[in-house]
Amino acid sequence: MTQAFPLQWPEGWPRTPSGRREDGRIRFKRPGSRGWQEPWTFAAARDALLEELARLGVTYPVISSNYPIGRGGVAVEAKRTPQDTGIAIYFMRKGKPFAMACDRFHDAEGNMRSLALAIDAMRQLERHGGGIMMERAFAGFAALPAPGSKRAWREVFGFGHSEPITVASLNERYRSKAKAAHPDAPGGTAEEMAELNAARDEALKEISK
């Protein structure tokens, strides 16, 4: 399952060599309280990224990083900057899992801002009538499971290896597990719900065959 802490870098995504990273606090600025341009704060960059994901219409977004998780379930600025400030985001869109990541900048603020701007740029394709182009662009961000981390759908739902499954029995098991896995339920997480949704999609494909 996707984890918010510590950083879970997407499988297959290259890392930026440390010597080629830039200072995001210089690259990205925003209007300050007095109208002056000032660097993005950690919280502002994080919230702006979450807002872009919401505009995209995704479900169960997860920001994965080496920053601690606060009471609200999101990353918060650490007292000591971690050595790896890369940021990865995982989310579900139209029933499919996606992942994006950035470690181009020395600071997490710059990496989060870069991701937010990338999402906004792709949304502009849709706003200007390029919906098909946007879908093709997102196809390149399809999430790949980390080696050994993906469970079979029968394991996720607790079905036996040879147990006969129908759509009705699958949906009944899904509803039961979703009540506990949903992020709004006590103990539920976005990662568990995303895994459950992905497992249901796989199960339905296999059953339909």
**Domains in the chain, please, with CATH?**
18-139 (no CATH), 153-208 (1.10.287)
Task: Write down the pLDDT at residue 148.
Answer: 45
pLDDT digits (tens, 9 = 90+) for 18-37: 889 999 999 999 987 777 88
pLDDT digits (tens, 9 = 90+) for 36-90: 889 999 999 999 999 999 998 888 888 999 999 987 788 999 989 999 999 999 8
pLDDT digits (tens, 9 = 90+) for 112-122: 999 999 999 88
**Measured CA distances, 47 to 1, 40, 112, 175, 180 (Å):** 23, 11, 9, 31, 27
Contacts 24+ apart (CB under 8 A), 197-204: 197/60, 197/92, 197/95, 198/92, 198/97, 199/151, 199/153, 199/156, 199/157, 200/153, 200/170, 200/174, 201/95, 201/96, 202/153, 203/153, 203/154, 203/157, 203/165, 203/170, 204/167, 204/170
Task: Write down the pLDDT at residue 199.
Answer: 85
* SS3 category, 70: coil
Task: Write down the pLDDT at residue 203.
Answer: 87
Nearest to 88, CA basis, from 70, 106, 66, 55: 66
- What pairs with residue 92 in β-bridges? 59, 97
- Is the pLDDT at 92 greater than 90? The verdict is no
Mean pLDDT for 123-130 is 70
Contact 194, 92 (CB under 8 A): yes
Residue scoring higher pLDDT (12 or 104): 104
Contact 7, 86 (CB under 8 A): yes
Mean pLDDT for 128-139 is 64
Q: Output the pTM of the full model.
A: 0.67
pLDDT digits (tens, 9 = 90+) for 161-207: 778 889 999 999 999 998 888 877 787 777 788 888 888 888 888 88
18 DSSP 8-state letter:
G
* SS3 category, 91: strand
What is the CA 50 to chain-centroid distance, rounded?
Answer: 10
